[in-house]
Structure 1
Amino acid sequence: MDHHSTTFSTSSFSSPSDTLMAAILSHPPRSFSSLISSLSTDHRFIRSRLAFLLLSPPYFSLALARLHSLSLSQKSILLARLLLHYLNLLLLSPCPSHRLRLLDFDAAVLLMAMCDSYSPETSPSPINWHSTIITHLLTSLLSPSGLGSTSWPVVSHYIDTAAKCRRFLHVVSGGITKSDDEMAASSAAVVSLPSVEIGGESAECVVCKEEMELGRDVCELPCKHRFHWSCALKWLGRKNTCPCCRFELPTEDVYGEMGRLWRKLMRMGGG
């Protein structure tokens, strides 16, 4: 797939999928190639896990039992963590704080397949999820996009799935955006912040309004704004945003992290 063969004008985009496509095409050529490779590898893995569940009745029953044991809110969090996985892949970023253990990953993949295959008009009641998912999977595999020899169907699948994040977040939050809430920065993000020495002219820490003395080590955020370490730790223990510019650091709140990555992709795509 040629990264330079298609030119998009972001001003003409009207849908989240279009903006997401623009975002991934904004990656440099080398990063874009890595992205396609990562998406293809992940797609094969997810398909193999779903096929394994469908071909292994005991494991299918185990994953289904895991879903039945969860409350609606727990199912939402499980699905959110899988959607977060998709967003992280599109951004070529790791997801250390929200990884799923294999049983939960299988349950999340099964839940996503159930959502994709369910149709209120055609699905019988009660639903035989095993046959319903197989029918849907075979239909998608035999479709023109499923039979395609290029990487575009895989890219489109990840874009279409990621595009569901905005609607999903709106539903689970009741229309309240997580960016309006206070969420602590993740421990991993805080630990990775560098300590830099104040040089040149002294500056004021906007948190405590006191001077940061020359030669003193202070905390520097990715946006390059600096603060006393004690002030930064106290602030980031409550909020994941820079006190100066509201740059967002990763958070361990799964819905908050989905919102952060969604906004990042929208900015990349000019949305």
Structure 2
Amino acid sequence: MEEESTTIIMTSLSTLSPSHLTSLTHTILSISHHHRRRLTSVLSSPTLFSLTLRHLLSLSLPQKTLLIATHLLSLLHPLLLHRNHHHSLPSSAAFMKLRDLDAVVLLLFLCETHQLDPDVLEASADNWREILGAMCSDTMLNSISGLWTCDAGILMPYIETLVRCKRFVDIMGGYNHLRRLRGEKEGYEIPAARAAVVALRAVEVSNATGLNSGEVECVICKEEMSEGRDVCEMPCQHLFHWKCILPWLSKRNTCPFCRFQLPTDDVFSEIQRLWEILVKTTELHVTHVLSNT
């Protein structure tokens, strides 16, 4: 599963144009520096470290899973956004509070430390800050070796983090498991993100839109769209009456005609939506390569 995830991400990256790849690399480098600064701040301040560790210890396992899932979502968005495609419209689920960011970078570093040297955390928690601080310094010194000046040196840690976070979310049950924890039934539908709904375009029905008056109907109410009236245009270019589509999107995030998915504010639904886009991109790329060989 981990190798499959890596392949999907790598293939998706290979479909980016040079300009988009460069832009993505710069974005990832900026995000990486920000996360390193937060981790350094936590480890260098006894007070901040104590507060962050206390926050982590107060979280249940499902809450920790949600924390890592939100972090994963924030890392997936740059990859989709730099494709310059309507599928990657952001939602508020991608943003984290500073306290949660500090908690997740510390949690991931604890997991990484445990994986590299399981015995090091056997020491008293009172000594963790000094131990982790030394390990963090060594990691940063080792990375400043010229490797980070090339795209591969920037992208590989990013890919590894994406895969690690997705593996954890999948292992801990991910989307379907947490739906069951919330008592939701199969076939549960989620509303579209408010930001995505607000961003929808209003277009006037006319011959210029490619619609002849009286020939197109709203598939929700089954009534014809009147020429000269404003209607809602979804990113998939299907049109609906505003009075019909707004109640629809308040309950589900799909186009009533083609099932195109708008972003949602549900973290696990967003991860699933974005991952499906990556998988589809991979399949299309492989098909294109095979057809040209």
TM range (shorter): 0.7 to 0.9
Tell me how far 1:135 sits from its aligned partner. 6.0
Q: For 1:97, which of 92, 96, 99 is the aligned residue?
A: 92
Q: Distance in 1 between matches of 2:256 and 2:124?
A: 51
Higher helix share: 2
Alignment-derived partner of residue 25 in structure 1: 14
Tell me how far 1:133 sits from its aligned partner. 3.6
Flag the 1:127–1:193 CA change in 2: closer, same or farther, 3 A: farther
Tell me how far 1:48 sits from its aligned partner. 1.5
Q: Distance in 1 between matches of 2:253 and 2:131?
A: 42
Q: Residue 195 of structure 1 aligns to a residue in which SS?
A: strand
Q: Distance in 2 between matches of 1:180 and 1:166?
A: 23
Flag the 1:55–1:174 CA change in 2: closer, same or farther, 3 A: closer
Tell me how far 1:82 sits from its aligned partner. 1.0
Flag structure 1 segments of 5+ consecutive residues without an equivalent.
Answer: 1-13
> CA offsets per residue over residues 127-168 of structure 1, 9 Å max, x none?
64435644654564466x663242312201111222245434
The answer to which of 91-100 and 18-27 deviates more is: 91-100
Q: Distance in 2 between matches of 1:95 and 1:110?
A: 25
Tell me how far 1:172 sits from its aligned partner. 4.3
Q: How does 1:1-271 map to 2 (within 5 A)?
A: 15-92=4-81, 95=90, 97-98=92-93, 99-119=95-115, 122=119, 124-125=121-122, 128=125, 129-130=128-129, 133-134=132-133, 137=136, 140-141=139-140, 147=145, 148=147, 149-173=149-173, 176=176, 181-199=188-206, 200-201=211-212, 202-270=215-283
Flag the 1:95–1:210 CA change in 2: closer, same or farther, 3 A: closer
Aligned length: 257
- Assess if the C-alpha contact under 8 Å between 1:146 and 1:153 holds in 2: no
Q: Distance in 2 between matches of 1:214 and 1:130?
A: 67
- Assess if the C-alpha contact under 8 Å between 1:205 and 1:227 holds in 2: yes
- Residue 189 of structure 1 aligns with an amino acid whose one-letter code is A
Flag structure 2 segments of 5+ consecutive residues without an equivalent.
Answer: 82-87, 180-185, 285-293
Q: Distance in 2 between matches of 1:236 and 1:66?
A: 35
- Assess if the C-alpha contact under 8 Å between 2:114 and 2:121 holds in 1: no
Using the size of structure 1 for normalisation, the TM-score is 0.83
Q: Percent identity?
A: 39
> CA offsets per residue over residues 212-269 of structure 1, 9 Å max, x none?
2222211111000111112211111111111222211110001111111111222223
Q: Residue 176 of structure 2 aligns to a residue in which SS?
A: coil
Cα RMSD of the aligned pairs, angstroms, is 2.7
Tell me how far 1:187 sits from its aligned partner. 0.5
Using the size of structure 2 for normalisation, the TM-score is 0.77
